[in-house]
Amino acid sequence: MGPYNIPRNVKDEGRILFIFTGKSMIYTVVGAILGTLFYFIFAAFGMTLIGMIIIAIFALIGYSIGTFKIPDTTAFEITKKTGGENIDDVIIRAIKFKNNKNKIYVYEEETKDE
């Protein structure tokens, strides 16, 4: 008789500190770094509490971009086309589209009318 693998739930084994995946942790750290730039600006004027709040807000925005998906509803034009996709994938696609100078290539086939 050969070995038998016991099934187990491995859904959340790729998570860090229970709520962070690798991607969401990276986006959170990048958001916190951007918020730290604003912290130093506000700290120069003696408003360190506001700077810390801005760090938390930027980290939360980074976490939400790395974790959440766009809802799948038909209420808005963008959710009809991108519903169910990760927010960061949609942002990256939009940036690539803008870098391509908003070109949309359409294939037209000529038909002969008789």
pLDDT tens-digit map of 76-102: 776 777 777 888 888 888 888 888 776
Q: Which residues, listed in sequence order, are joined to residue 20 by a DSSP beta bridge?
A: 16
| Most trustworthy range by pLDDT among 5-9, 42-46, 104-108 | 42-46
Rounded to 5 degrees, φ, ψ at 69 are -115, 160
Residue 16 CA from chain centroid, whole number: 17
Element (H, E) at 78: helix 77-82
Radius of gyration over every alpha carbon of the chain, rounded to an integer in angstroms: 22
Is the pLDDT higher at 29 or at 104?
29
CA count, 13 A, side-chain hemisphere, 76: 7
pTM for this predicted structure: 0.66
Q: What is the DSSP letter of 74?
A: S
In the block, residue with structure tokens 């918020």:
35
Using alpha carbons, select from 37, 42, 34, 40 the residue that is nearest to residue 58: 34
Question: What tokens appear for 38 in the block?
Answer: 């604003």
pLDDT for position 10: 57
